[in-house]
Amino acid sequence: MHSLTIHELQEKMKSGEVSSTQLTQSVFSRIDAVEDRVHSYIRLLKEEALAAAALADENIKKGDIQPLTGIPIALKDIVCTKGIPTTCGSHILHNFVPPYNATVVEKLRDAGAVFVGKANMDEFAMGSSTETSYFGPTRNPWDLERIPGGSSGGSATAVAADECIASIGSDTGGSIRQPAALCGIVGLKPTYGRVSRFGLIAFASSLDQIGPFTKDVEDCAIMMNVLAGYDPKESTSVQADVPDYRQFIGRDIQGWKIGIPREYFIDGIDPEVSAAVKKTIDVVQKCGGECVDITLPHTQYSVAVYYIIAPAEASSNLARYDGVRYAFRTADARDLAEMYEKTRMQGFGAEVKRRIMIGTYALSAGYYDAYYGKASQVRALIRRDFDEAFQKCDVILTPTTPTPAFKIGEKTDDPLQMYLSDIFTISANLAGIPGISVPCGFTAAGLPIGVQFLAGHFEEGKLLQVASAYEKSAAIEKRRPTL
């Protein structure tokens, strides 16, 4: 039961074949069976979930059925949940209990969702492997020796390992799409401004977006219907019409132009990944898509630009964790300066400290123009590359990641190698455009591979349409991880 999709389960619940309580119990028994090995969650909410499921069952009986009524959903521990600890994977917030809900949490709750738990993540979403979590790493259900991707690793594995039906992640440089690819599921990063950031603990405010992880593309559309929309609590939220995303499911892509950016098919990309993505191109063409060669010349600077802008914003966003008002404060400080120093020294992990230092440096007097200023200019060029590319094509197709899941510990001592695992996803955040990762095959060793589609601002519908058309025709083997 726990391996079904939202739309399958909704039918079963409507018909009375399955109750939300049965489904939720099934999910928790699955969690009991596999969580020890995978470690998707920082905190489980079994009691609350069963209460919510019972309420959902009553509502179903009354005929009050919302888009997600009774569906067990996992939340990345970066979205604030009223009265429930929200840690952001960090020691410094290990005991923080928000007195408010993130807007997406309210929306999901109002849509009838049952919250299973708070999913593990890289500390403050800084990482590509979920290894920097204060609560220990999450393991890839396809190979427990390997990382699940990150930073939303727990949200991805919870879906891949059937520890929930769908989940919420956040994507600052690829943190939804990359783990979705490495775990063999669907993950979508919406347009910047499409989904409210209110209550999302900020990493890099101009790049962060919340999005869904699902088992198939239709579920992704269902989740987007709930998540998308203007929020008056966020100034950067955009007042644009939200279509019914489900209408894009099952539509063909006859005559669509599929942009293939030459800069994304580079040396150093894993041959199995390369082969799988090339096969995807064939399938998309069979679906009626026409491939066009496009160029995104400033892509080569994406990682460099990102690793200035994101840490710069983070250095400021994370200044509030000073031990003064809430959460962790060092036990032994003699004066204010020492309280700050020790609280932050003991509260933050190594990767977070590294990025705070990089960001502080990039914004310092005398360096601002050379780093942050220059990066902002190049960012504008990257955005322009995409604007120009979308004059020539409907969507862009790229690999999601350069390699399949790597081994735990393999890149922890080499931050630069780690940063490069987001090379294909980062530019979408810099440009603010939406992107989706869809499974496109497996390596010989049985590791999932993902393909990424990108579209222009607020064109999530196009992404869902091409992804659903591809999903239907590709006939990717329906494998489940063996746990």
Partner 1 sequence: MEFETVIGLEVHAQMLTDTKIFCSCSTKFGGAPNSHTCPVCLGMPGVLPVLNKKVVEYGMKMALATHCTINPSNSFARKNYFYPDLPKGYQISQYAYPLAEHGHILIDSNGEQKKIGITRIHMEEDAGKLIHDENNPSSYVDLNRTGVPLIEIVGEPDIRSPEDAAEYLKRLHEILVYLEICDGNMEEGSFRCDANVSIRPVGQKEFGTRTELKNMNSFRNVQRALEYEVKRQQYLVENGQKIVQETRLWDDAQGTTNPMRSKEEAHDYRYFPDPDLVPVMVDEAWIAKIREELPELPIAKRERFIKEYQIPAYDAGVLTAEKPLAEYYEDVVKLCGKPKQASNWVMGDVLRFLNEDKRDIRQCPISARSLADMIKLIEEGAISGKMAKDVISDMYQTGKTPQEIIAEKGLVQITDEGELVKTITAIIDASPKQLADYRGGKEKLFGFFVGQVMKATQGKANPQLVNDLLKKMLA
Residues serving a catalytic function are 76, 151, 175
Which is closer to partner 1, CB of 170 or CB of 421? 170
**Cα(251)–Cα(434) distance, integer angstroms:** 19
Tell the smallest beta-carbon distance from residue 196 to partner 1 (Å): 9
Amino acid letter, residue 233: K
Which is closer to partner 1, CB of 55 or CB of 238? 238
Residues in 424-483 that interact with partner 1 by CB under 8 A: none
Residue span 235-254 as binding mask against partner 1, x where in contact by CB under 8 A, dash where not: xx------------------
Interaction between residue 412 and partner 1 (CB under 8 A): no
| Position among 14, 242, 326, 333 found at the interface with partner 1 (CB under 8 A) | 326
Which is closer to partner 1, CB of 156 or CB of 318? 318
In which order are the strands placed within the sheet that holds 448-454?
41-44, 114-119, 72-76, 166-171, 209-214, 186-189, 435-442, 448-454, 395-399, 257-261, 290-294
The dihedrals phi and psi of 106, each to the nearest 5 degrees, come to -60, -45
**Helix (H) or strand (E) segment spanning residue 116:** strand 114-119
Least Cα distance to 428 among 310, 266, 302 occurs for: 302
Interaction between residue 160 and partner 1 (CB under 8 A): no
Interaction between residue 306 and partner 1 (CB under 8 A): no
Which is closer to partner 1, CB of 77 or CB of 216? 77
3-state class (DSSP) for residue 141: coil
Interaction between residue 190 and partner 1 (CB under 8 A): no
Alpha helices in 150-203 (DSSP H): 153-160, 177-183
**Cα(446)–Cα(188) distance, integer angstroms:** 23
Tell the smallest beta-carbon distance from residue 208 to partner 1 (Å): 9
**Cα(480)–Cα(11) distance, integer angstroms:** 22
How many residues in total does the chain contain? 483
Residue span 200-229 as binding mask against partner 1, x where in contact by CB under 8 A, dash where not: xxx-xxx-----------------------
| Position among 118, 177, 189, 197 found at the interface with partner 1 (CB under 8 A) | 197
Which is closer to partner 1, CB of 86 or CB of 280? 86
Which of the ranges 60-68, 151-159, 307-315, 390-398 carries the binding residues for partner 1, by CB under 8 A? 307-315
Query: How many CA atoms are closer than 13 Å to the CA of 265, on its beta-carbon side?
Result: 18
Interaction between residue 199 and partner 1 (CB under 8 A): yes
